[in-house]
Amino acid sequence: MMKSDFEPILSRATVQAPAPERKRLLRQALLAERKALPPEALCALGRAVCSQIAALPLFLEASMLLCYYPVKGEINLLPLAELAIKRKIPVGFPVCDSKNHTLSFRKAETPNDFVPGAYGIPVPPENANLLIPDEHTVCLVPALGYDKNLYRIGFGGGFYDRFLANFPGVTIGVCAESTILETVFPEPHDVAVSLLATEKRIFKSEKTLKKPVF
């Protein structure tokens, strides 16, 4: 893995902060960087990441694809959902249960088949089929940033943490190269993704190098 250009985000102040404060400070810095990204740069980032993932054999061979609807400056991977639907691969989008802080995935019949959901995030309609992942399912995992061991830092709601704890398939994290950090201060319940896709490359960490991917 190349040396991460993480110093502007993972500041000395963040590293030396008390443990409970570290992730809060890091989220704050990552959100500021995301907000500063021009719209055209975000679009270019999305196109590049989609190209990296679309070339993976495991994406083309997936039994189903679990995507997400981009909000708050997240990388737009909807073109991958469109490609999968054209290939007759079932595509699901996350539905948040705000009471229990859990995720489930409903099938989207078309890339534009969404209604307002929890936290204002578009979701497939309530009558859409619930998808049950298997070992050949590919899940695209958003985050504010990842570290060199492929642990993620999100908004702190714990939705993906709970879902990934029992997910049987292959997880692909997505982020910009500039948000690969030395550490995101992972906790015991955190689960590293199988692969990480950026606008430049796809790689595994040393810790996940031996994890099989179909």
Instruction: Report all structural domains of the chain as residue ranges with CATH numbers, in order of start.
Output: 12-203 (3.40.50.10420)
Higher pLDDT, 125 or 189: 125
Residue-wise pLDDT for 77-113, tens only, equals 999 999 999 999 999 999 988 788 789 999 998 767 7
Long-range contacts formed by 128-133: CB under 8 A, 24+ apart:
130/104, 130/105, 130/106, 131/64, 131/66, 131/90, 131/92, 131/105, 131/106, 131/107, 133/64, 133/66, 133/105, 133/167, 133/168, 133/169
The pLDDT value recorded for residue 203 is 87
Mean pLDDT of the chain: 87
What pLDDT shows up at residue 158? 82
Q: Is the pLDDT of residue 4 over 70?
A: no
pLDDT tens digits, residue range 175-203?
999 999 989 998 888 889 999 999 999 98
From residue 2, how far is each of 49, 53, 83, 97, 179 by CA, in Å?
Answer: 18, 19, 30, 38, 13
What confidence category does residue 207 fall into, taking pLDDT thresholds of 50, 70 and 90?
A: low
Sign (positive or negative) of CA dihedral 106, 108, 111, 116: negative
| Among candidate residues 206, 208, 148, 140, the one with its CA nearest the CA of residue 171 | 140
Say yes or no to pLDDT of 43 above 90.
Answer: yes
Question: Is the pLDDT at 10 greater than 70, yes or no?
Answer: no
Query: Whole-model pTM?
Result: 0.88
